[in-house]
Amino acid sequence: MFTSRIVHPFLGWLESWSLVIASILIIAFEVPLVLRNLQITARIIGIGPGGHFFENANSWFTDSTGGITGSPGFIGSLVVLLVIGAVCVLPTRTFHRVVTGLAAFGVAGFVTMFIFGLAGDEPVCVRAQSAPVHGRRDGREDRRLRARPTSWRGRAITF
């Protein structure tokens, strides 16, 4: 609106259609992202309990090439589009509450994974992964070799 009144009506029209195309492209990006992340999350969850349900998560919405195809992919895409559409038509205050709640849920999930991830690591495994492959087990010899200059001599700057 401001562009069309200040500069030219054609530029305002161009700007509005650019926003429409950008919105459609963002939605087209979100659909496969959501569906593939659901599959990945299910595979990660399936590491613990196992079972047929989670082991076949790779084929829930995609074929062997990773493309979202078939009826499950189509239905999953429609569900994602309906959720995006439902959030878009919310009143302004409700929209902001929903988006703020989703952001808080994301941050809480990150913090929870960080805390329980650290608590779940066994110190023996952490030490085994950070131990040097060669040299002494505690790595002192490796640090000594890396700290010793071999062919470079430092020179003082003189004017």
DSSP H helical ranges for 48-139: 52-55, 70-88, 92-120, 123-130
Joined tokens for residue 32:
């496969």
User: What digits encode the pLDDT tens for the residues 77-133?
Assistant: 899 889 888 988 999 999 999 999 999 999 998 898 888 766 666 666 556 555 555
- 8 A C-beta contact, residue 91 and residue 99: no
| Amino acid in the structure at residue 30 | E
101 lies in the same domain as 136:
yes
56 vs 15: CA distance, rounded Å: 45
User: What is the span of the domain harbouring residue 53?
Assistant: 1-89
Check: CB of residue 57 under 8 Å from CB of residue 65: no
62 falls within a domain = yes
One domain, residues 72 and 106: no
| Residues 64, 7 share a domain | yes
Please tell me whether residues 43 and 70 are part of one structural domain: yes
Residue 159: inside a domain: no
Mark whether 97 and 110 lie in a shared domain.
yes
Please state the domain count of the chain: 2
- Domain annotation covers residue 19: yes
pLDDT digits 0-9 by tens, 18-44:
888 998 888 888 888 888 888 888 888
| Closest to 73 (Cα-Cα) out of 38, 26, 119 | 38
